[in-house]
Amino acid sequence: MSGSERKHESETGRAPAAMPIPAIAALASTERLEQLKSICRNVVDLSPMDPAQIVETFGGALILLEHGVPGAEQIVLGLAVDKPDSAVLMVSDSLPVHIVRALMKIEASDILP
């Protein structure tokens, strides 16, 4: 933990990981979206949008995708090709190899169980 992180923790009484997320775009189940709203001030529900439109509009931003939700794989593939400077959190217990490879091409990505 760096000095600035320790200072922040001592000033606020909570660790940096406990800080609310300012904004996130998400394509996920209704239950997961509700959970996100409890820790994030601005949650954008991507479900009504087309995958290509999501890549164009939200590429370069923080995006949470839940594997199994229609369109999630197309979004990952589109971001890997057109907007690799994005930050993607992928929620899944197991992913196909081609999606893992696509996530590796994105500047910041992580897979969450």
Q: How far is C-alpha 21 from the geometric centre of its chain's CA atoms? A: 11
Least confident of 19-23, 53-57, 70-74: 19-23
**Residues paired with residue 64 on neighbouring β-strands, in sequence order:** 26, 89
Three-class HEC string of the chain = CCHHHHHHHHHHCCCHHHCCEEEEEEECCHHHHHHHHHHEEEEEECCCCCHHHHHHHHCCCEEEEECCCCCHHHHHHHHHHHCCCCEEEEECCCCCHHHHHHHHHCCEEEEEC
Q: Note the pTM of the prediction, 2 decimals.
A: 0.80
- Answer whether residue 85 shows pLDDT above 60: yes
Domain 20-112 has CATH 3.40.50.2300: yes
**How many residues would you count in the chain?**
113
Confidence of residue 6 (pLDDT cuts 50, 70, 90): very low
Rounded mean pLDDT of 76-97? 97
Confidence of residue 22 (pLDDT cuts 50, 70, 90): confident
